[in-house]
Amino acid sequence: MNRFEILEHTGDVKIRVCGRTQEELFQNAMEGMFHILNPEPNSPAGGKNLKKRTIKIQALDINALLVDFLNEVNYLRQVHGETYGKVYFQQFSDTALEVELEGDEVREFGEDIKAATFHDLDIHQNKKGEWETDIVFDV
């Protein structure tokens, strides 16, 4: 399976995300979110305006952790006008994470996302042993 795929959903945007580890699932979910946002790079010199942001989150469970993570990344991209391509995990458990995001400035986003939601969210291992979930974004 691909890292993520866009699924049909009425009124909102839904993606299915997969990863070999839970950390990879979170990284791929973020990449899927930015794919939907369709950012326009600020300059063709990618990487020269490198931005780093740190996120620390505590949640009740792994599902809430993913929603909180995506919503915090979405908030940071709105406030700072940035897109993030890499996630470096300093800490990760079912209820807490600390990550450093690495990204670049953007002029604008082609689409907008209000929030990641809990609708259809269920992080689980599939028959191949990979972690997967569906994520619905309120647009």
**Domains of the chain (ranges, CATH numbers):** 4-138 (3.55.10.10)
Residue 50: per-residue pLDDT: 84
Residue 99: per-residue pLDDT: 99
CA distance 45 to 95: 38
Residues of the chain with pLDDT under 50: 44-45
DSSP structural state of residue 9: -
Q: Kindly report the average pLDDT of the chain as a whole number.
A: 92
Residue 38: per-residue pLDDT: 86
Residue 45: per-residue pLDDT: 45
Roughly what angle, to the nearest 10 degrees, separates helices 22-37 and 62-80? 40
CA distance 123 to 3: 14
Task: Note the pTM of the prediction, 2 decimals.
Answer: 0.93
Contacts of 94 (CB under 8 A, 6+ apart): 22, 61, 62, 65
Residue 48: per-residue pLDDT: 63
